[in-house]
Amino acid sequence: MNDFHDTLSRAADLLARADALLIGAGAGMGVDSGLPDFRGTEGFWRAYPPLAKLGLRFEEMADPRWFAQDPEFAWGFYGHRLRLYRETAPHPGFAILRKWAGSMPLGAFVHTSNVDGHFQRAGFSPEHVCEVHGSLNHLQCLAPRPCGQALWSAEGVEVSVDSDSLRAAPPLPACPACGDLARPNILMFGDFRWDSRRTSEQGERFRKWLAATRGHRLLVVELGAGNAIATIRHACEEVAEEEGATLLRINLRDGQVPAGSNALSL
Give the residue from 59, 57, 56, 78 showing the smallest Cα distance to 67. Answer: 78
Phi-psi group of 166: left, alpha or beta (phi > 0 → left; psi -120 to 50 → alpha; rest → beta): left
Phi-psi group of 40: left, alpha or beta (phi > 0 → left; psi -120 to 50 → alpha; rest → beta): left
Beta strands (DSSP E) in 60-208 are 108-112, 129-131, 134-141, 152-153, 161-162, 167-168, 182-186
Q: Which residues contact 197 (CB under 8 A, 6 or more apart)?
A: 151
Q: What is the separation of C-alpha 163 from the centre of its chain, rounded to a whole number of angstroms?
A: 24
> CA 184 to CA 160: how far, in whole Å?
15
> CA 150 to CA 140: how far, in whole Å?
7
Active site residue 133: yes
Q: Which residues contact 130 (CB under 8 A, 6 or more apart)?
A: 109, 110, 111, 112, 199, 202, 203, 205, 206
Which residue of the set 80, 111, 133, 138 is catalytic?
133
Q: Which residues contact 18 (CB under 8 A, 6 or more apart)?
A: 104, 217, 218, 219
Q: Which residues are catalytic?
A: 133
